[in-house]
Structures are given as C-alpha cells and as structure tokens.
Structure 1
Amino acid sequence: MLKTDVQLRFDQLVTKVLWPVFKARGYKKTGNNFRYYDPLGWGKIVNIQKSAFGDRHDIRFTVNTGLYLAEADRQWTGRIAADRFLEPDCLIRARVGQLSGSGQDVWYEFTEQTVPEVLYQQVERDVVTYVLPYLDRMVSADAIIQHLLAKRQPASAQAISTVFACGYKEQARQWLADELATAASRTHRQQMESIKAILA
C-alpha cells in the first residue's frame, strides 16, 4: 500500500530533520529510534512514538528519551540488551514535555492540513532546546547515576539497588531510608522493604 502524504511527511521529519542531528553525535538509527550505546554498559535513546489513536491521515506523536544502564537490566531481567536496548528497557525515561519543564505532556500532530515546514521547525526546536542538552550531559554510566541521585526519579527498588550495585552504597542506603520514612502507599513500602536485605 502506498504511503499517504501524511506518512511521507512524518518519515521526512524522522530521516531528514531529526536523524542528522543524532547521527552527528554517534547515534545509530533503527526505525524511529536513535540509540547511542557505550560498551562500558550505558546508553541513551530517543524514540519518536506514534499515538495508537492515529491513522494514515492523522499521525500524533511525541518524543521519548531513555537512559540505559546494563547493570539495572542485569539485576532486574537477568539479561543485558546492550546495543539493542529500547526505550522501555531504560531505567530513566522522560518525554520532551517533562524535559521542557512545562509539566505538560507534548504531542505533535500531522494531518493533511499541517504545514510541514512549520511542524518540522517546532519539533526540531524542542529537540535542540530540551532533548539534546539533557542527553549531551550523559557522557558515562557515572553521569547517569549522578543524575539519578540528584533527581531520585524513578523512586523505585530497581533504581536504588542499581545505585548500590554501582558502588554508591551509602547514597543508596540513605535513599532507601528516606523512601521508607515517607512511603505513602503500602505497595511502595513493600517494594522498598524487598531490597533492605540487599543493601544491608
């Protein structure tokens, strides 16, 4: 089936507008994913996610980012995706709306009425302004861990145990103690309790 003009314009955004920016930084492209992986066990990814509610004539999409640590993958899945990791494999995930600081989830839309150049400029501006500065700061596994410790997000058992496994034992123990002291839900408390023995 031939692609619609909307589909072709979306493809143009991915391959001609966004991809060159990431290619210049050493990323690899797979479909709508731009992935950077370091053999030392960390990586970062950008995923252009289409909404499940669109169609061939109306494509809504957003920009997801992920920060990958092989140690987190190994601990919680028993495997390491390494240079094949995807955004859902990442310990730290954020969308362009979060990175902008607006607190709003941002979705872009391509329809038959969309002026392609205007949307291209908007998406490219948001990627250059919010996504690239964030990802460019992540130059090592340690940089990712430091970011995790500064933000404490996600506040998950996986995140805390990964910090511990990467050598930040006292910081991990303190983070766990703080989570246990402020846990608002029974489920969260149980998750935190589940790693107390690991961090002892």
Structure 2
Amino acid sequence: MTKELWPAFKARGYRKTGNNFRYYNPLGWGKIINLQKSVFGDRHAISFTVNTGLYLAEADRYWTGQVAADRFLEPDCLVRARVGKLSGSSHDVWYELTEQTVPTVLYQQVRQDVETYVLPYLDRMISLDDVVQHLLVNRQPASAQAISTVFACGYHEQALQWLADELATTTSCTHRLQMESLKASLA
C-alpha cells in the first residue's frame, strides 16, 4: 500500500520509513502519516487505518525532556487524527484486506481517502505557526502539554486565556489540579 501512496508524499518533501511518511522542518515542527495495522488479524485478513500527526518539538521537550526531531513517530505528536475523523465520520475507518478483496479496488479507496481528507488537512500546515494556530482554534488536546507548548512557542496571552478557560469550565478534579499546577509554573 505504501508504494501506491509514496509519490504524492515524496512530491511534498516527505521521507518514508516503514509505514510512515514523515515531513520535518528544522524550525521544530512536522507532520506524519502512518499506516497502522490492526493487531487483530492474520495472514488471511489484514485490517489497517491511516493515522496523521502534527509534531511540535516544544511539546516533545515538555513531555519527555527530549526532542525526537526528524525521527518522531505518530504517537510523539501532540495533535493526532485518523482518516475517519478527518472525513467527518464519527467512527474509525479501517480498511480490510482479505482473500476476497480486490487489491486494486482497496488501494483506490485508500488513495482517494488520502487525497480527499488527509492531504488537504496536512497541506494546510506549512509552518510552526499553522500548527500552533490549529491547536488554538481546536483546543485539542485540552492538556497541560498543549497549553504549555503554545506558551513556549511565544503565544503567551492565548495560552493563558486557554488555561483560564479550562479552569473556569472543567468539572474534573484531576484536570483542575493539572491546570492549577500549570498556572503556577507559568506565573
């Protein structure tokens, strides 16, 4: 499957490693597409989905104390979305490859979904600012890591407002404690 998708990503400056297509900008941000195989399968039936991620080195630094830089993986990304979410579906989309599947039909469906949903989403992210703005608009994930990353990227007022909004609206004691701890560390 990766052979069918590779030309579109290569033309955009991505590098391929295994089932990952990764773009990294030395200014500390990147984007990735990952083809994830389901653990529930065998050689007669394979299920897979398409994951995307938006990577910020500042988030990695906050979370792990290290920066993966051009070796980041989809789980290292602060913003993550599967093809189902990008298509507007409320369900995950998993592609099935069985002995009855016509491979060309399946590959065409995956390619169409990638070209229709994944690439337009990722193509909108052309700078670190675009990724941070995406975080600020969507406010997802609503985590201390996300807010502190926005702050570390220089968006102090917006990060503090997001933090204040989280404190004003959360009903979770755990989330409140995390937000209060973050507020103390940013003061």
Say which of 34, 42, 61 aligns to 2:48.
61
Q: Distance between the aligned counterparts of 2:67 and 2:122, measured in 1?
A: 21
Give CA deviations for 1:119-172 in whole Å, capped at 9, x if unaligned.
111111110000000000111111100010000000000000000111111110
Shift of 1:19: 1.2
How many residues align structurally?
Answer: 187
1:154 maps to 141
- TM-score, normalised relative to structure 2: 0.98
Say which of 151, 154, 157 aligns to 1:164.
151
1:51 maps to 38
Shift of 1:101: 1.1
2:105 maps to 118
1:7 maps to none
- Runs (5+) with no aligned partner, structure 1: 1-12
Say which of 26, 31, 54 aligns to 2:13.
26
Partner AA of 2:67 in structure 1: I
Say which of 113, 124, 129 aligns to 2:116.
129
| Correspondence list, 1:79-90, <5 A | 79-90=66-77
Q: Distance between the aligned counterparts of 1:33 and 1:71, measured in 2?
A: 21
Q: Distance between the aligned counterparts of 1:128 and 1:191, measured in 2?
A: 39
Partner AA of 2:68 in structure 1: A
- Runs (5+) with no aligned partner, structure 2: none
RMSD value over aligned CA atoms?
0.8
Structure 1 moving runs of 4+ over 4 Å: none
Partner AA of 1:139 in structure 2: I
1:98 maps to 85
1:41 touches 1:70 (CA, 8 Å); kept in 2? yes
Q: Distance between the aligned counterparts of 2:64 and 2:20, measured in 1?
A: 22
Q: Distance between the aligned counterparts of 2:173 and 2:84, measured in 1?
A: 30
Shift of 1:199: 2.3
Shift of 1:21: 1.1
Q: Distance between the aligned counterparts of 2:85 and 2:175, measured in 1?
A: 23
